[in-house]
Every structure is written in C-alpha cells, then in structure tokens.
Amino acid sequence: MSLRTTRVSFSAIVFVLVGACFASCVIGQNQLQIQDLSTFPRTTLEIHTKADGQKFNVWVADTPARQTQGLMFVRDLPSDEGMIFPNAKPRVASMWMKNTFIALDIIFVAPDGRIAKIAAKTTPHSLETISSGQPISAVLELKGGESARRGLKVGDLVSWSGGADSALGAHSKTTP
C-alpha cells in the first residue's frame, strides 16, 4: 500500500467517524421534543420572606417532557419570571445546566413548602450535578442572582396557585 493510498484511507476513515458523530448528535437532540414555553401552564408563585412577599409568574413543568426541557435554550429571563418543577412525591432532585444559556438560581422546596436550599448563579451549559441533598417537593428556577437581590433565604415559604392537583400538599393553593 502506497503512502498516498494510506493518506486517502485515513482521510476517509476520519470523514466517516466525524459524520457518524454528527449524525449521533443530531439524532440525540431530536429525541428531546422542544416545546414552546407558551404551551406550558402558567401560575403565580409567591415566596413569603421575613420582610414581605415576592411574586413571580412561572411556567409549570408538569410533565416528564416539560421537566426534561425546563429552561433549556432560553436566552433571557425577566426578573419576575421562572419555572416550577413540582414532584408528585418528595424525592432527592438533581439538576444540571445542559443547553441552558443563562445563569439560574435553583431553589429546592421542602415538603413543608419552605426553601430547603438555594444554588445561586449556576453556570450556563455546565454538566455538573446540582443536588437538593434531601427529599424535596419542588424545584424553582429563577434568573441568576434574583434570590440574593430579593433577599430570599432558606426557610422562606413558597406557595402558588394553579397547576396539577396538590403536588405540594396543603401549602399549595390549587385550581383545576
């Protein structure tokens, strides 16, 4: 086999491998059916601090597909908006920032409706796992830095209306 044939063969192998990797990435992304956020249910959420109540208009990630998508691909989030991820039963939650273009504050809500943990200003596109570290009933995502700006703290009470029937129990006001 000549040197020229070896180079051509090597180039062909590289071309095929790159093409296979690209196809795999495209197929992998197509498995996640991105929904327009306008199709997600909306509700008003309030966090009761020692000083006052802080209100947010949030999308409700009420299905496994919506929870998988979350705020992926969002490029801007107003300071009074966010997304709530309710759990049917308390569980340890793990989040990541894959395909998330903006920093977020990830707020873990305990079964009693109080903030259990705040992961502030998470890093966009990071694959690092952000864990609640304890069973929680919901996760709230807000614009990065918003929890500090509004004085939100562990122990503050979170409540919202609308959405599925009582994902959080008594502290959640629900409507059909």
* Residues 73 and 135 occupy one common structural domain: yes
Domain containing residue 75: CATH number: 2.60.120.1140
H or E stretch at 5: helix 3-31
Query: How many domains does the structure of the chain reveal?
Result: 2
> Does the structure show a pLDDT above 80 at 14?
no
Residues 12 and 46 occupy one common structural domain: no
Both 78 and 22 in one domain: the answer is no
Residues 34-92 have pLDDT tens digits of: 999 999 999 999 999 988 999 999 999 999 999 999 999 999 999 999 999 999 999 99
d(Cα 152, Cα 49) in Å, to the nearest integer?
A: 6
Do 23 and 69 share a domain, yes or no?
Answer: no
pLDDT of amino acid 141: 98
Rounded to an integer, the average pLDDT of 23-31 is: 45
Q: Within this chain, do residues 113 and 93 fall inside the same structural domain, yes or no?
A: yes
Quick one: 24 and 88 in the same domain?
no
Q: What's the pLDDT score for residue 33?
A: 86
Rounded-to-integer distance, Cα 27 and Cα 24, Å: 5
Q: Write down the pLDDT at residue 28.
A: 46
Does one domain contain both 100 and 155? Answer: yes
Contact status, residue 111 vs residue 135, Cβ threshold 8 Å: yes
Domain assignment of residue 66, yes or no: yes
Co-location of 58 and 127 in the same domain: yes
Please give the model's pTM, rounded to 2 decimal places: 0.76
Domain range spanning residue 107?
Answer: 37-171
Distance CA 128, CA 120 (A): 14
Q: Rounded mean pLDDT of 123-151? A: 97
16 pLDDT band, cuts 50/70/90, is very low
Burial class (CB in 10 A: 0-12, 13-18, 19+), 37: middle
Residues 95-115 as b or e (16 or more Cβ within 10 Å = b)? bbbebbeebbbbbbbbbebbb
